A and B are shown apart, each in its own frame.
Chain A
Amino acid sequence: MKDGNGKQASRWFRELDESRSWEDFYRRRWQYDKSVRTSHSVNCSGSCSWEVFVKNGMITWELQKTDWPQINDHTPNYEPRGCQRGISSSWYPYSPVRPKYPYVRGVLLDYWRAERSAGKDPVAAWAAIVENPDRAKAYRSARGKAGWRRTSWDEATEIIAAAKVYTIKEFGPDHLASFSPIPAMSMVSFLSGHRLSNLLGGAMLSFYEWYHDLPHIMPMIWGDQTDVAESADWYQASYWIVMGSNLPMTRTADAHFASEHKYNGGKLVNLSPDYSDVTKFADLWIPARPGTDAAFILACIHVILQEFHVNRRSEYFHDYVAQYTNLPFLVILDEEGDHYISGRFLRAADVAEYANEELADWKLPLFDRNGELRLPGGSVGFRWEEQTTGRWNLKKEDAITRQNFEPMLTLVDGPYEEAIVEYADFTDTFNVEFGTTAIRGEKARKTLRGVPSRVLTKADGTKVRVATAYDLLLAHFGVNRGFSGDGYPKDYDDASQAYTPAWQEQETGVDRNLVIRVAREWADTAEKTQGGCLFITGSGILHWYHGGSLTYRSEAVMGILTGCQGKQGGGFAHYVGTEKIRNVAAIGTLGNAVDWGNVGRQQNSTSYFYFHTDQWRYDGMTLDPLWAPSAKRMPEKANHAADMNAIAVRNGWLPFFPQFDQTNPLQVVKDARAAGCETIDQVRQWIANQFKERKLKFALPNVDAPKNHPKVLWIYRGNLIGTSMRGHELNLKHMLGTHNNVLGGEGRAKDFVHEIDWGEDEAPLGKLDLIYNVNLRMDSSANYSDIVLPTAHWYEKHDVTCTDLHSFLHPFTPAHDPAWETKHDWDAFKLVAQKISELARTHLPDPVEDLVMTALNTDTPDELAQPLGELRDWWTGESEPVPGKTFPNVSIVKRDYTKIHDMYTTLGPAVTKPNGYGAKGIKGDLAEAYEQMKESYLIGEKDGRPSLERAAQVCEVILRMSPESDGELSYQMFKKLEERTGVPLSHLVEHEREVAYHFPDLISQPRRSLTSPHWSAIETHGRTYCPWTLNIETLKPFHTLTGRQEIYYDHRMFRDLGENFPVYKPPVDMVAIGDVAPADLKMKGAKLFRFITPHQKWGIHSMFGDSWQMLNMFRGGPTVWINDDDARDIGVADNDWVEIFNENGIQVARAVVSHTVPRDMSIVYHQCERHVNVPFSSLARERGVSDLRGGNNNATTRIMMNPATMVGGYANWTYWLNYQGTSPSERDCVVLIRKKPLEKRGRKVIYQESQLSIGA
């Protein structure tokens, strides 16, 4: 060889004098003409800053921007932020999956054109189609089956406007509904369709809890929808437990902190049933049995309480719990035969000393360390006092005497008597080995444990026995302090009683020593670092029936008991959905059209779809296994989720639309006026009487009556039909009225539902008159819509985005104009608004009055509606119907439908009124900002108001309306809040008063949000965002009943559910409740699997999953992961096609056989859409169902609603869109899987109808 002799040039090198001009080949490829900063609008929590490159006028590729400001010197920064999905976005703008023109399905368009060319007015033309049963059936059953016709924006929006105007006139605006998720991912685009909906009076459908992204415990414990740490704060932690959150897969851009925090001395423990991606980063992997995670954590708490609270009283933990939780408050012990059950909290009204306090039912006394009764400030009663007294704070101060005191946490520290208290044990209600539970589950059993208590004399002279919530909690966890009662476990190895390490071993399959080890490590670290231990958790936990209410709660409580909440680098951090709209006030105001005085019809989607897709008929679960043995009150009211929901609606806990049984709310006001009602109070009284006399009824109990169906639904920026529709096939059948592969009958709920009219006939097949979709892909929502309007790609838009995972605001800026005939969503709905205004001139020429009924609302005085957490059901005569108290809120909204377009495109003046603007009950006004906006060259004036004509203007308006981007606004709101709290707050932002981010600032470089009165973190001076630091450090209360972190829940519903304590309930055995047909259980070659649908690696929900890049990064279409031993049992080899099914539907996918998955569990990463590589199902043909193709991963799931998430009208348990309400809980699902039989001639599968051997 020539090299090595040192004399001549190596053959490896081309010397500089040799020509290398060919290298320009690659240099030219890299060259580009311009680049822009922009982002992606997907529900991934990314909010990344991307540079998009343009060459010859075309978008070519993208790369992460790396010019993020550093938060502080010692924390790794966020760049490059972006992932495999984001970097493949440039495929979409010119992709073959993109609709480039407006489309209407041929069947419908033919009817329309025939009617229009016959000279009919648009509204009359629409009536002629939908009122004709044959035509209605024909175009509904064509949904999802292509047959598209290209049309114009003019024609498409005319059909839409006609349908809406027709619906408003015939049925009422409450029969309209808009669905678009996740404002934070692109705020302006989000606002568009909802602003239109709210101006019309339509129902605005929620997404957060519908996606099952809402951590139900957040409003319940902390009184806020969600507030979590940005990922840079993870780096400050010293111990992580990751549960149900697969960081590299779903928090891809944040996952680098996992290894970086380890290099900073941290330790990472992962609970996951499979060897998930994050397991790779773990020091300790705990493969708990799916759905049993709470048992592990509760056993950790058992150990921590025993060792760090009782055997040795950690001063740090003890002081934290005493000041910042509801555990020192006093719980009344109710007599239950020869022992007690724990009841509601003692109130100021109960004791003579404080009975005269204003709102005394909403103020809570406790003992100080001398055993004297004290009334601290901070509880919800102090928040809503008529006069501001400045006592809504967490000072350790008596609110009456203003003396300092220390709360007494345990009565053991003073004189006490032992009382025997009954606890509920749900361990055996369902077997964790699914398919083995006795029919519909067992009832819970009781255990008895001694608790220290004292007797007080009440204001009325009677005696009452009380215990601190803390003492009750210790007993609940079986922490032995030498009290009597046979319910205390002997030691950690006693498996007979919850919540010992040995007990959890039976549920989770995890060695008891691991529990003890993790508990000690966690608590030791938390004590030494004063709260530096972190839970990172997500949908793997949350999406279970008890996930958001109980499993999450176990984590949160472990964090609270060890002083980790509100501490930098500590606490409970849940990341599911891009939930955080930092600019929350601006989005709430513009989206709900509050600037025009609108009262929004906010609808929790889970209930909406549970009923309107008729899934309630398929729900074979009774509530028997959920009730505590001592429960009497709630079980007697309802024993099925559907019934409980009906009760929740009539008592103002949850909303439901349409509102009235077969009555147009526009007509209701007319009737009230005709009856002589003039003031709103008279209308309210009249309405209440009408209901009391059963002259007016809610639509819900008669939900399947044709006039109570939703009529027009629009979807944009989300794939409602494909991605989030649990019970997908049931939806196709009942709401859309088209082909489906539902296997099981609908009678499963018949014997259990009493509040909803089952009806004589078959359940309705096809309810919606019109479903239309603004979309950039032909995904399921587009496929199943009647009309598809093509939207601009994110690289063609102006918009603003943010996330919870970092604290910056980002812009979208267009790389080029929207291609073909696509439009920004803002412009698309503006066109619809214009069409509606035009048609209204003929059809709704005069202003009308709309009667809007809403649920009782959180962060308003509605929180005081139902004292002591007792249900007093007016329907059954337990109280009078009083709107806003025992009955939903009743408001009248004046609507001028001819002005919809004008209102849509300008900022209404209602925000300039005193307290006319704000969020979360923290208000101010925009009087000054309103004038400045009109003068701003970035906004300008239209009709004497700030203009919202163009998307870029809306971006700037959002920034000007947000304390997070406008320091002066933040300062002014903090100033106002100080009056109520009596503690200093405005100093937090004093130095930022001059700061105002404008839209062009964001385009030049990401900007970090400012400390805001609407959020709970102090992020000033280089602090990473960590929630509740503001509450802990400034003593501003949490928005809760006690103003502290709620660990004990005293509402009647929770007591009856045994969920007044953080309790363990096993996953629901869905075989036991009828989701798998008994005959199918015997099918040869089929096996039962737990069916898990975590977030995927090759898409964000369904987005990106159909792109070339993502499909080629794995196996090109739907797959199901199963264990190799299970696969062998059913004769399946890797990459074989299988059928996954139960009564609810059939999915067809290829098997991914892997030893990284445990036995008995199947994983179908969601969302595997149905529009790519889904062949026909053999089973569908065997069973003769109407849809022969395999379904998506929602084919086998269905909505299951948990009554624990329905409570309302009580302090922080009060409804608001995306705050409270039911979630669909798809993860308890169980399926059968079998190898798919071969097709004719040995083909594995077929895709095309022409190759089917049956049918036409």
Chain B
Amino acid sequence: MRIKQQMGIVFNLDKCLGCQTCTIACKNVWTNREGAEYMFWNNVETKPGAGYPREWENQAKYRGGWKENPEADHPKLNQASRFWEMISLFYNPVLPQMDDYYGKGPFTFTYEDLHSEQPTKFSQPVARPKSQITGEEDIDLTYGVNWEDNGAGTHEEGTGKLDYNFSDMTPAARQALLKFQDSFMMYLPRICNHCLNPACVGSCPSGANYKREEDGVVLIDQDRCRGWRYCVSGCPYKKTYYNWRTGKSEKCILCFPRLETGQPPMCFQACVGRIRYLGPLLYDLDRVAEAANAPDMELVDRHRGIILNPFDPEIIAEAKRQGISDNWLDACRRSPVYKMVKEWEIALPLHPEFRTLPSLFYIPPESPVATATANGRGTLDMVDGGTVLPDLKEFRIPIVYLARLLAAGNTKQVEKALLRQLALREFRRLERVEGRVDESVLQRVGLTVQQARH
């Protein structure tokens, strides 16, 4: 057992506002430079939608991440062999193009027109759109980092059908969900997952990508990077970006200069929805490859399995032996991420089938009940007869959709996470409105009163 330290992350999607404050916090500090305009180390997408870059989840298109490799004890890179990598060094055919990110590039406007000494004749002057990359003026704007905000253009005839997470559904089911009556919407904030089995590291021909020993942060060494961009194609989340000015690739650094000075990353501190949790984890490096090679339905549990219990005396002893400090161990025991991922099992990794073993986990969101359902059932005896809170089966966001997104199709994992949220709410409602403590509500989903009050 080789015990490694990892800064773990949980994003609670139920709380996400889709406001992009995180996006801009990050942008202002790290990527408002020439060459980095289109980089969004942090972005937030509206689901359903094709995302940023367009269709990033579709590995048939981009060939990122890893494939299950039943013949071996570890998965293999989806973008094929090291040999393939070498022969296509100078032309990588699966790279996203600027059009997939941003049309003609991030845009600015000719603000100077507004201050002009020259008077106009028929109309007020306007700042006209202009490409920040080419300088071309009066351009059409056709895509961007949040083009599909709040379901913009994601109806069935639009980009909605490109959403990979509908792949477990029939086209008819998808079509219904992309109409007003049955519509749903959620946000997906994304940063680098600082994976335990990072495909960007696995695919870098220069050895520039690495994980930091002390916190598991994945970095691209700007001195060593040669700009081959295999990390760009290798990362199934498209969270590395090529800087066209410096000729190097860059990615989210989890604000390590802030971590090192005891501050959370910018996007965490700025998160207005208060959805972001940061906490240390311990994991067994020796079991990473094997966990990443598990069958789809087992991926979530196997991933959880390699996260070590910091309360276990044997783990503590072994960790100390391997040089892990008491402070880190203590922090692991207080880690909210450990509780949500491992103890309560309410947080799930994004697309575990990409097999990179992300260090970022998501709590699946609740959603309003489908109104058609609510109309049809006996709604007239809701009060005093039972709960006024929604039922899992009534949620507008289909469980299969969330399961494709967060559990490699394993609906049980999503159901458990949502049921536990609902149970907590019901427990508190009974306590506050009806004035009684009803532990049975919690017991049904395997929680205790102590956990509910945490």
Contact = CB atoms under 8 A, between A and B. Distances in A.
Interface of A: 1, 3-4, 6, 10-16, 20, 22-23, 25-27, 29-31, 60-64, 66, 76, 80-84, 86-88, 90, 95-97, 99, 103, 106-107, 142, 144-149, 238, 248, 252-253, 255-256, 259-260, 262-267, 270, 275, 277, 279-280, 282-287, 511, 513-514, 516-517, 520-521, 524-525, 528-529, 532, 739, 778, 780, 783-784, 1097, 1106, 1108-1109, 1111-1117, 1119, 1121, 1123-1124, 1128, 1134-1135, 1152-1159, 1170-1176, 1186-1189, 1244, 1246-1249, 1252, 1255-1256
Contact of A13 (B20, B122, B127, B213): B213
B8 to A, nearest CB: 16
B180 A1157 contact: yes
Contacts of A1128: 157
Given A4-B74, A63-B270, A282 B368 contact: yes
B112 A96 contact: yes
Contacts of A1112: 106-107, 144-145
B407 interface: no
B380 A1174 contact: no
B241 interface: no
A1155 B175 CA distance: 11
A78 B435 CA distance: 28
Contacts of B368: 270, 279-280, 282-285
Nearest to A266: B429
Contacts of B434: 528
Contact of A1114 (B127, B144, B255): B144
Interface of B: 2, 12, 14-15, 17-21, 23-25, 27-30, 73-74, 106-109, 111-129, 138, 140-142, 144-147, 149-158, 160, 178-180, 183-187, 197-198, 201-202, 207, 210-213, 219, 221-224, 253, 255-258, 260, 266, 269-274, 285-286, 288-290, 365-369, 371, 374-375, 379-380, 382-384, 388-390, 421, 424-435
B180 A1158 contact: yes
B424 A1188 contact: no
A66 B269 contact: yes
Given A84-B20, A97-B111, A1247 B126 contact: yes
Contacts of B116: 146-148
B432 to A, nearest CB: 5
A86 B153 CA distance: 27
A142 B120 CA distance: 8
Given A4-B74, A1152-B153, A256 B2 contact: no
A3 B266 CA distance: 32
A1146 to B, nearest CB: 12
Contacts of A282: 368
Given A256-B273, A514-B371, A521 B180 contact: no
Given A95-B111, A265-B431, A282-B368, A148 B210 contact: no
A1189 B285 contact: no
A1183 B160 CA distance: 38
B129 A248 contact: no
A1187 B122 contact: yes
A287 B149 contact: no
A15 B213 contact: yes
24 contacts: A3-B289, A10-B285, A12-B201, A15-B213, A22-B224, A31-B257, A76-B274, A82-B270, A87-B25, A145-B119, A147-B116, A147-B120, A255-B17, A265-B426, A275-B180, A283-B368, A287-B371, A524-B383, A778-B111, A1114-B152, A1124-B179, A1171-B114, A1176-B123, A1247-B128
B288 A3 contact: yes
Nearest to B430: A265
Contact of A1156 (B15, B129, B183, B432): B183
A1232 B327 CA distance: 66
A238 B380 contact: no
Given A265-B428, A1156-B180, 8 more contacts: A20-B221, A26-B30, A517-B374, A521-B382, A528-B434, A1109-B24, A1114-B146, A1119-B152
B117 A1173 contact: no
A39 B125 CA distance: 31
A265 B438 CA distance: 13
Contact of B149 (A15, A61, A80, A1114): A1114
A529 B432 contact: yes
B19 A248 contact: yes
Contacts of B429: 238, 265-267
Contact of B390 (A27, A283, A783, A1252): A283
Contact of B151 (A10, A22, A1155): A1155
Contacts of A255: 17, 272-273
B24 A84 contact: yes
Contacts of B428: 263-265
B168 to A, nearest CB: 20
A23 to B, nearest CB: 7
Nearest to B371: A285
A10 B198 CA distance: 12
Contacts of B198: 12
Contacts of B142: 1135
A29 B112 CA distance: 29
Contact of B117 (A148, A1152, A1172): A148
A1115 B371 CA distance: 31
The 8 A-B residue pairs whose C-beta atoms are closest, nearest first, are A147-B119, A265-B428, A265-B429, A1189-B123, A96-B111, A1134-B153, A248-B17, A1124-B155
Contact of A1171 (B108, B126, B380): B126
A294 B327 CA distance: 58
B412 to A, nearest CB: 23
Contacts of A1111: 107, 109
Contact of B23 (A4, A84, A145, A1159): A84
Contacts of A145: 119-121, 123-125
Task: Determine which residue in B116, B185, B272 has the highest number of CB atoms from chain A within 10 A of its CB, and name it.
Answer: B272
A871 to B, nearest CB: 44
A238 B221 CA distance: 52
B185 A1173 contact: no
Given A3-B285, A520-B383, A1113-B149, A1171 B127 contact: yes
Given A517-B379, A1112-B144, A1153-B153, A280 B114 contact: no
Given A265-B432, A283-B369, A1246-B138, A1173 B115 contact: no
B185 A87 contact: no
B222 A1248 contact: no
Nearest to B122: A1188
Contacts of B213: 13-16
Contact of B153 (A525, A1109, A1154): A1154
B183 to A, nearest CB: 5
A418 B421 CA distance: 54
B158 A1174 contact: no
Contact of B269 (A64, A263, A1172): A64
A473 to B, nearest CB: 23
B269 A1155 contact: no
A1170 B124 contact: yes
A287 B370 CA distance: 11
A514 B432 contact: no
A667 B289 CA distance: 93
A19 to B, nearest CB: 9
Task: Determine which residue in A96, A1121, A1157, A1186 has the highest number of CB atoms from chain B within 10 A of its CB, and name it.
Answer: A96
A1173 B152 contact: no
Contacts of B156: 1124, 1155
Contact of B129 (A252, A1116, A1159): A1116
Nearest to A513: B379
Contacts of A1155: 151, 154-156, 160, 178-180, 183
B424 to A, nearest CB: 6
Given A63-B269, A1108-B108, A147 B118 contact: yes
Task: Determine which residue in A22, A86, A280, A1134 has the highest number of CB atoms from chain B within 10 A of its CB, and name it.
Answer: A280
B454 to A, nearest CB: 11
B153 A517 contact: no
